[in-house]
């Protein structure tokens, strides 16, 4: 259980705010008039029953889907549309429900790929693999090795990720996202499909990322125990609408939330 | 036992990330280069050099080019023949306009023309993927083939429609044209191909190779880690076409000595694609292995049966060649989709643990 | 200025001056289009039912035609030769399923696509080995197909329609209608559509993939045979047909890969577009633009509508 929210967090600046965002696909309204914010340095959980629009919400923040209405303000800049690579350069990284690793590459290469946006040596030096290009490779390799140590995946560095078990793949994917040194890390069901031990490991990693690197985290998660333990604040979606927003304790007692999960007709 | 890595540990990152970290690999490459540079020209006869080694190297270069685009970046291209043609014709026009400039410079420069054309025909790749992109490259193939045949400017208004390679020299030694000797031409081709292979290897082991492979494996995720798709794809088209262009120029200037436009047709595109598939998509070694197999096969078919006393007509050789290649493609795709390169890796793995089975 | 006139005005003036030539060209385009559509139809059949893009469809056309003529030249009467060729096409479908499709089940589409390249080259080599590479004459009249032409006067000139072409258009329409009914109304047709959507799901409801695939490749083989007969009757039967068959790819791009009406409409658009382009604009550029015009049309089309006229929009979910 996290310490109760102290004054310095509630006074923390808003890092990202979602304002009155709506998204539809054809006739289906995935997200309707949702607004919430994420404060710098916090762990924000987005929860809700299946089909609530949680992944769509992350996709919007990422720049994957463009909402028909509303806008996102990130680090002071407001926009209604963002391209995925703009989000990446802006400091937003993410992991996916179905692991989106590059299957033809090793774990090390996947995480090194995450450093791409920090690598600038030009084509000429890349051709020679010498001088600035090599210097850069080594420098970024050092940073990647720190992440590998942090996630304890040293033995599987050179294994093609397609051959790794699911839990390790998720860790490599987390590593790739961390390699981008993001300000905001979006995790889409990071514990999905894991057993108790793996969940504890992953929870520890999420907390350490937040403590050690200071990264703000938004995560979608179904396991209530994890949500209660890890998050500072929670936003609850149901059928694309926000039905609650507050600390874990407040959410636990909220009748609308309980109804949504129990499937009470409304 | 022969291929043990144990004991070869690295103490810094740059050694660990070198392209050939294992001693055995370095020794192997050294031996191969020694054979290529010293043994073959000294001991080999004209037939070996002219009809086997030179074209093998040229096709390997083209296969590397196509592999960069299709194997590493995942963009299927059926326009390789046309891009090779652009290189060949560019070189021809350049050397007829500026006969005093060294031909080697023009051979390399022709790659840039090919790269430019490649980028133009690669622009659709922003919106089109997979099979559809293959059809777009077919448009490039047929359009460019038509240009080579129907636009007389390309072949200097020659009555025959073909281009003839003029004699050019380097330090007084003729390196193209009828007077150039086999060995000279072999060394030119060997030098260019080895250098360009080294450059390609550097590219694919670094940031650019990772970007290409990311686009191949999952382009949506690649975008999300900050890779700009259009630039990466166009770079792949540019570099790939550069390699194919130089290969085309070498094909005409160092092997055939002349060319009809029909050389750079869609069949050549398929030929190179088969080399890449059988050799292994996404492997530079595979490009060489595939070129060797597909190129050596018809030669074996043509010359071995008469030695064994079985008469065989040249036309039949062609037919059987097509059948065998077709069957090999299907066989490889079933048994080892990663081609000969993967078989080679498995072989090395066996060498690692020999004499134990695993 | 003169150039603008040449590109944008003159061709239309020419069209107006000699409407009989225009109609003739349109007819030629229509006929070529019908034949392209038939090849595209074979592609669509196989793609709809197995998700495999059968690059070898073109060579199957040539192969079927050659087999038919080959049997006839060995002294077998025309209709018996036809029946034997149908049996051969069935054998081919069976062999392809057993040796190529079954081992590659569940592989990504691009692998299967490349396997059909291998099949194409194998059939080219095999066909040339068995039948020889010389062009042959199709046994059109022996099969009861009409010869000669229908002429009618028009606007000071005349238009000539080959009877064989009319027959081709009619037979093609009948085949298309029959296939459309087959897919929509029959049980096997439904099973085919199920397999096209998802191999695994179809298996789990008890549809036998092997059985379906043999049927579908056999159907495509029949379409190829009909195409081969029609085409061979207009010109000769030779391996040059294989390259022409590549033209079916732009047709598929326009019409979509899974739509039977799309294949027809796409084929007609490409056929007519090509012939009109070649006849009226070709001389400006140097002739022979037919070799690439279809592809460029398809390419331009793709830039605006990547899924073709009738294809389904591809929505990628993450």
CATH assignment of the domain containing A22: 3.40.50.300
Are A87 and B224 in contact (CB < 8 Å)? yes
Q: Buried b / exposed e across C219-238, counting CB within 10 Å, b at 16+?
A: bbbbbbbbbbbbbbbeebbe
How many beta-carbon pairs below 8 A join chains B and C?
A: 127
- Which of A88, A127, A141 has its CB closest to that of B225? A88
Q: Looking at the domain assignment, is residue A148 inside a domain?
A: yes
| Mean pLDDT score across all residues of chain B | 87
Neighbours of chain A (3+ CB pairs under 8 A): B, C
Same domain, A118 and A149: yes
pLDDT in tens, chain A (266 residues): 334 333 333 446 888 889 999 998 878 888 999 999 999 989 999 998 887 889 899 989 988 888 888 888 888 888 878 888 888 988 999 999 889 999 889 999 999 999 998 888 888 888 888 888 888 889 999 999 999 999 999 999 999 998 999 889 999 999 999 999 999 999 999 988 888 898 999 999 999 999 988 899 999 998 888 888 899 999 999 888 999 999 998 888 888 888 877 766 55
Which chain A residues are closer than 8 Å to C318 by Cβ? 55, 59, 64, 96, 100
Quick one: tokens of C30? 């229509």
Which chain B residues are closer than 8 Å to C122 by Cβ? 322-323, 325-327, 330
Which chain C residues are closer than 8 Å to B323 by Cβ? 121-122, 125-126, 129
Q: What is the DSSP letter of B158?
A: -
CA distance B100 to B250: 19
Distance from CA of C264 to the nearest CA of A (A): 29
Do residues B111 and B94 touch, judged by C-beta distance below 8 A? no
Distance from CA of B270 to the nearest CA of C (A): 8
Q: Looking at the domain assignment, is residue A30 inside a domain?
A: yes
Distance from CA of B207 to the nearest CA of A (A): 7
Q: Which long-range contacts (CB under 8 A, 24 or more apart) does A161-169 make?
A: A161/A101, A161/A102, A161/A103, A161/A105, A161/A106, A161/A107, A161/A110, A162/A103, A162/A104, A164/A107, A166/A99, A166/A193, A166/A194, A167/A193, A167/A194, A167/A198, A168/A107, A169/A99, A169/A101
Instruction: Indicate if the pLDDT at residue C215 is higher than 90.
Output: no
Which chain B residues are closer than 8 Å to C295 by Cβ? 135-136, 138-139, 142-143
How many beta-carbon pairs below 8 A join chains A and B?
A: 105
Q: Looking at the domain assignment, is residue A98 inside a domain?
A: no
**Residue in chain C lying closest to A59 (CA):** C318
User: Is the Cβ of C318 closer than 8 Å to some Cβ of chain A?
Assistant: yes
The span from the first CA to the last CA of chain C, in angstroms, equals 52
pLDDT higher for B336 or B110? B110
Collapsed DSSP state (helix, strand, coil) of residue A97: coil
Are B227 and A116 in contact (CB < 8 Å)? yes
**Residue in chain B lying closest to C119 (CA):** B326
* pLDDT confidence band for C51 (50 / 70 / 90): confident
CB neighbours of residue A166 within 10 Å: 12
Q: What is the pLDDT of residue C209?
A: 80
Please classify residue B21 by burial: count the beta carbons closer than 10 Å to its beta carbon, then call 0-12 exposed, 13-18 middle and 19+ buried. middle
Q: What is the pLDDT of residue B210?
A: 94
Q: What is the DSSP letter of B336?
A: -
Distance from CA of A97 to the nearest CA of C (A): 8
Same domain, A137 and A17: no
Mean pLDDT of C209-229: 87
Neighbouring-strand partners of residue A244: A236
Q: What is the pLDDT of residue C7?
A: 75
Task: Tell me which of B80, B132, B153, B281 to substitute to probe the interface with C (most C C-beta atoms closer than 10 Å).
Answer: B132
Measure CA C15 to chain center.
29
Distance from CA of B193 to the nearest CA of C (A): 27
Give the number of C-alpha atoms closer than 13 A to the C-alpha of residue B89, restricted to the C-beta side.
27
User: Is the Cβ of A138 closer than 8 Å to some Cβ of chain B?
Assistant: yes
Q: What is the pLDDT of residue A126?
A: 87
Collapsed DSSP state (helix, strand, coil) of residue A25: strand
The percent of residues in chain B predicted with pLDDT above 90, rounded, is 35
Do residues A190 and A98 touch, judged by C-beta distance below 8 A? no
Distances from the Cα of B304 to the Cα of B142, B307, B308, B311, C126, angstroms: 36, 5, 6, 10, 21
pLDDT higher for B313 or C68? C68
CB neighbours of residue B41 within 10 Å: 17
Q: Name the domain boundary from A181, A196, A221.
A: A181
Instruction: Indicate if the pLDDT at residue B42 is higher than 50.
Output: yes
Return the HEC string of A131-173.
CHHHHHHHHHHHHHHHHHHHHCCHHHCCCEHHHCCHHHHHHHH
Instruction: Indicate if the pLDDT at residue B170 is higher than 80.
Output: no
Same domain, A154 and A188: no
Mean pLDDT of C143-150: 73
Instruction: Indicate if the pLDDT at residue C74 is higher than 80.
Output: yes
Which chain B residues are closer than 8 Å to A170 by Cβ? none
What number is the ipTM of this complex?
0.87
Instruction: Indicate if the pLDDT at residue B100 is higher than 50.
Output: yes
- Which of A102, A114, A141 has its CB closest to that of B217? A102
Are A104 and B282 in contact (CB < 8 Å)? yes
pLDDT higher for B180 or B111? B111
User: Is the Cβ of A98 closer than 8 Å to some Cβ of chain B?
Assistant: no
Quick one: tokens of A172? 């490599």
User: Is the Cβ of A88 closer than 8 Å to some Cβ of chain B?
Assistant: yes
Q: Looking at the domain assignment, is residue A97 inside a domain?
A: no
* pLDDT confidence band for C6 (50 / 70 / 90): confident
Are A141 and B13 in contact (CB < 8 Å)? yes
Neighbours of chain B (3+ CB pairs under 8 A): A, C
Do residues B121 and B237 touch, judged by C-beta distance below 8 A? yes
Mean pLDDT of B258-262: 83
Q: May I ask the CATH class of domain C2-304?
A: mainly alpha
Instruction: Indicate if the pLDDT at residue C81 is higher than 90.
Output: no
Do residues B312 and C117 touch, judged by C-beta distance below 8 A? no
Length of chain A: 266
Q: What is the DSSP letter of B75?
A: -
Measure CA B82 to chain center.
14
Neighbouring-strand partners of residue B170: B173
Q: What is the pLDDT of residue C318?
A: 45
Collapsed DSSP state (helix, strand, coil) of residue B176: strand
pLDDT higher for B265 or C243? B265
pLDDT higher for B17 or B252? B252
Q: Name the domain boundary from A181, A207, A238.
A: A181
Q: Name the domain boundary from A181, A216, A250.
A: A181
Q: What is the pLDDT of residue A4?
A: 39
Which chain C residues are closer than 8 Å to A96 by Cβ? 318
**Residue in chain B lying closest to C129 (CA):** B319
Q: What is the pLDDT of residue B118?
A: 94
Are B330 and C129 in contact (CB < 8 Å)? no
Domain map (residue ranges) of chain C: 2-304
* Candidate from A74-83, A256-265, B23-32, C66-75 with smallest mean pLDDT: A256-265
**Sheet (strand A69-74) strand order:** A28-39, A14-25, A69-74, A77-79
Residue among A120, A188, A108, A183 at smallest CA distance from A147: A108
Are C126 and B337 in contact (CB < 8 Å)? no
The alpha helices in chain B, defined as continuous H runs, are 13-16, 23-34, 40-43, 46-47, 54-66, 80-97, 103-122, 130-150, 182-205, 207-217, 219-224, 229-250, 266-279, 284-308, 314-335, 339-353
Are C128 and B334 in contact (CB < 8 Å)? no
The percent of residues in chain C predicted with pLDDT above 70, rounded, is 95
CB neighbours of residue C201 within 10 Å: 11
Return the HEC string of chain C.
CHHHHHHHHHHHHHHHHCHHHHHHHHHHHHHHHHHHHHHHHHHHHHHHHHCCCCCCHHHHHHHHHHHHHHHHHCCCCHHHHHHHHHHHHHHHHHHHHHHHHCCCCCCCHHHHHHHHHHHHHHHHHHHHHHHCCCCECCCCHHHCCCCCEEEEEECCEEEEEEHHHHHHHHHHHHHHHHHHHHHHHCHHHHHHHHHHHCHHHHHHCCCCHHHHHHHHHHHHHHHHHHHHHHHHHHCCECCHHHHHHCCHHHHHHHHCCCCHHHHHHHHHHHHHHHHHHHHHHHHHHCCCCHHHHHHHHHHHHHHHCCCCCCCCCCCCCC
Mean pLDDT of C63-89: 87
Parallel/antiparallel/unpaired status of strands B168-170 and B173-176: antiparallel
* pLDDT confidence band for C216 (50 / 70 / 90): confident
Do residues A43 and A219 touch, judged by C-beta distance below 8 A? yes
Q: What is the pLDDT of residue A1?
A: 34
CA distance B268 to B291: 12
Which chain B residues are closer than 8 Å to C292 by Cβ? 139, 142-143, 145-146
Q: What kind and span of H or E run contains B45? A: none
* pLDDT confidence band for C310 (50 / 70 / 90): low
CA distance C84 to B14: 68
* Tokens 């999905």, located at residue: A192
Are A126 and B17 in contact (CB < 8 Å)? no
Provide the domain count of chain A. Answer: 2
- Domain containing A190 equals 1-91+183-266
Q: Looking at the domain assignment, is residue A6 inside a domain?
A: yes
Do residues A117 and A84 touch, judged by C-beta distance below 8 A? no
Range ranked top by mean pLDDT from A144-148, C110-114, C144-148: A144-148
CA distance A20 to A70: 5
CA distance C115 to C93: 15
Range ranked top by mean pLDDT from B62-66, B126-130, B304-308: B62-66
Neighbouring-strand partners of residue A246: A234
Distance from CA of C56 to the nearest CA of B (A): 11
Same domain, A86 and A189: yes
Give the number of C-alpha atoms closer than 13 A to the C-alpha of residue B263, restricted to the C-beta side.
21
Which chain A residues are closer than 8 Å to C110 by Cβ? none
* Candidate from A224-238, B54-68, C206-220 with smallest mean pLDDT: C206-220
Domain map (residue ranges) of chain B: 45-264
User: Is the Cβ of A119 closer than 8 Å to some Cβ of chain B?
Assistant: yes
Distances from the Cα of A162 to the Cα of A107, A173, B223, B346, C62, angstroms: 9, 12, 20, 18, 42
Q: Looking at the domain assignment, is residue A205 inside a domain?
A: yes
Q: What is the DSSP letter of A13?
A: P
* pLDDT confidence band for B82 (50 / 70 / 90): very high
**Residue in chain A lying closest to B15 (CA):** A138
Q: What is the pLDDT of residue C190?
A: 82
- Which of C107, C125, C285 has its CB closest to that of B319? C125
Distance from CA of B72 to the nearest CA of A (A): 10
* Tokens 């579908």, located at residue: C216
Q: What is the pLDDT of residue C309?
A: 66
Q: What is the pLDDT of residue A43?
A: 93
CA distance C74 to C58: 25
CA distance A224 to A222: 6
User: Is the Cβ of A123 closer than 8 Å to some Cβ of chain B?
Assistant: yes
Do residues A195 and A227 touch, judged by C-beta distance below 8 A? no
Mean pLDDT of C124-150: 77
Instruction: Indicate if the pLDDT at residue C316 is higher than 90.
Output: no
Which chain A residues are closer than 8 Å to B13 by Cβ? 137-138, 141-142, 145
Are A180 and B226 in contact (CB < 8 Å)? yes
Instruction: Indicate if the pLDDT at residue B260 is higher than 50.
Output: yes
């Amino acid at each position: 259980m996290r310490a109760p929210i102290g004054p310095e967090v509630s006074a923390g600046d808003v890092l990202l705010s979602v304002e009155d965002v709506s998204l539809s696909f054809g006739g289906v309204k995935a997200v309707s008039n949702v607004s919430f914010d994420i404060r710098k340095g916090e762990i924000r959980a987005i929860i809700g029953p299946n089909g609530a629009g949680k992944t769509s919400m992350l996709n919007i923040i990422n720049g994957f889907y463009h909402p028909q209405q509303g806008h996102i303000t990130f680090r002071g800049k407001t926009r209604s549309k963002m391209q995925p690579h703009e989000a990446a350069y802006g400091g937003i990284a993410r992991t996916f429900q179905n692991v989106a690793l590059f299957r033809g590459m090793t774990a090390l290469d996947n995480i090194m790929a995450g450093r791409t946006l920090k690598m600038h040596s030009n084509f000429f030096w890349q051709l020679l693999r010498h001088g600035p290009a090599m210097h850069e490779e080594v420098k970024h390799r050092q940073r990647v090795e720190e992440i590998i140590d942090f996630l304890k995946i040293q033995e599987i560095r050179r294994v093609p990720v397609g051959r790794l078990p699911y839990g390790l793949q998720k860790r490599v994917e987390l590593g790739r996202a961390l390699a981008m040194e993001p300000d905001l890390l979006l995790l889409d069901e990071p514990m999905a499909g894991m057993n108790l031990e793996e969940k504890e490991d992953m929870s520890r990693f999420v907390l350490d990322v937040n403590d050690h690197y200071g990264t703000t985290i938004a995560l979608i998660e179904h396991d209530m125990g994890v949500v209660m333990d890890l998050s500072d604040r929670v936003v609850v979606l149901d059928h694309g609408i926000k039905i609650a927003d507050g600390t874990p304790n407040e959410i636990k007692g909220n009748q609308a939330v309980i109804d949504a999960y129990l499937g009470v007709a409304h | 036992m022969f291929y043990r890595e144990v004991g070869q540990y690295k103490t810094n990152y740059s050694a660990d990330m070198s392209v050939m970290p294992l001693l055995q690999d370095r020794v192997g490459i050294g031996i191969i280069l020694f054979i290529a540079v010293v043994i073959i020209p000294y001991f080999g006869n004209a037939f070996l050099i002219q009809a086997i080694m030179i074209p093998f190297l040229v096709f390997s270069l083209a296969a590397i080019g196509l592999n960069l685009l299709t194997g590493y970046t995942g963009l299927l291209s059926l326009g390789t023949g046309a891009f090779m043609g652009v290189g060949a014709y560019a070189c021809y026009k350049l050397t007829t306009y500026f006969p005093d400039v060294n031909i080697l410079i023009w051979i390399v420069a022709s790659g840039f023309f090919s790269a430019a054309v490649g980028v133009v025909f690669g622009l659709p790749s922003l919106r089109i993927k997979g099979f559809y992109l293959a059809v777009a490259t077919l448009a490039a193939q047929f359009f460019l083939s038509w240009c080579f045949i129907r636009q007389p400017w390309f072949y200097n208004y020659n009555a025959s429609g073909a281009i003839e390679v003029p004699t050019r020299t380097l330090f007084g030694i003729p390196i193209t044209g009828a007077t150039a000797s086999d060995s000279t031409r072999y060394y030119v081709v060997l030098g260019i191909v080895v250098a360009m292979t080294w450059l390609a290897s550097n590219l694919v082991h670094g940031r650019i190779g990772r970007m290409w492979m990311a686009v191949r494996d999952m382009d949506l995720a690649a975008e999300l880690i900050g890779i700009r798709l259009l630039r990466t794809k166009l770079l792949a088209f540019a570099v790939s076409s550069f390699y194919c262009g130089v290969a085309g120029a070498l094909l005409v200037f160092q092997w055939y000595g002349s060319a009809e436009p029909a050389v750079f047709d869609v069949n050549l595109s398929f030929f190179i694609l088969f080399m890449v598939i059988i050799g292994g998509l996404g492997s530079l070694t595979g490009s060489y292995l595939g070129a060797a197999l597909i190129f050596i096969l018809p030669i074996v078919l043509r010359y071995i049966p008469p030695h064994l006393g079985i008469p065989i007509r040249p036309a039949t050789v062609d037919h059987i060649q097509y059948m065998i290649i077709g069957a090999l493609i299907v066989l490889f795709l079933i048994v080892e989709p990663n081609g000969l390169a993967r078989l080679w890796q498995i072989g090395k793995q066996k060498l690692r643990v020999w004499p134990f089975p695993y | 200025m003169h150039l603008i006139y040449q590109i944008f005005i003159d061709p239309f003036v020419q069209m107006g001056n000699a409407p009989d030539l225009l109609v003739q060209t349109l007819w030629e385009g229509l006929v070529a289009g019908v034949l392209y559509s038939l090849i595209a139809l074979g592609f669509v059949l196989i793609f709809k039912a197995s998700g495999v893009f059968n690059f070898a469809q073109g060579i199957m056309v040539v192969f079927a035609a050659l087999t038919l003529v080959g049997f006839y030249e060995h002294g077998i009467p025309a209709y018996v030769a036809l029946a034997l060729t149908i049996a051969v096409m069935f054998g081919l479908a069976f062999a392809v399923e057993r040796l190529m499709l079954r081992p590659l089940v569940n592989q990504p589409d691009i692998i299967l696509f490349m396997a059909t390249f291998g099949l194409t080259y194998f059939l080219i080599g095999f066909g040339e080995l068995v039948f020889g590479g010389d062009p042959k004459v199709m046994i059109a009249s022996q099969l009861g197909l009409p010869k000669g032409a229908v002429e009618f006067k028009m606007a000071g000139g005349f238009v000539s329609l080959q009877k064989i072409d009319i027959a081709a258009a009619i037979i093609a329409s009948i085949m298309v209608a029959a296939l459309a009914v087959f897919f929509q109304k029959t049980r096997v047709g439904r099973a085919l559509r199920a397999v096209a959507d998802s191999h695994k799901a179809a298996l789990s409801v008890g549809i036998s993939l092997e059985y379906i695939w043999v049927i579908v490749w056999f159907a495509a083989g029949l379409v190829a045979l009909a195409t081969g007969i029609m085409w061979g009757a207009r010109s000769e039967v030779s391996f040059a047909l294989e390259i022409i068959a590549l033209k079916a790819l732009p047709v598929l791009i326009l019409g979509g890969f899974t739509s039977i009406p799309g294949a027809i409409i796409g084929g007609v658009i490409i056929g007519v577009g090509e012939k009109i382009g070649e006849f009226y604009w070709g001389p400006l550029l140097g002739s022979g633009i037919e070799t690439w015009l279809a592809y460029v049309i398809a390419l331009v089309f793709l830039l605006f509508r990547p899924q073709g006229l009738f294809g389904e929009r591809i929505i990628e979910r993450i």
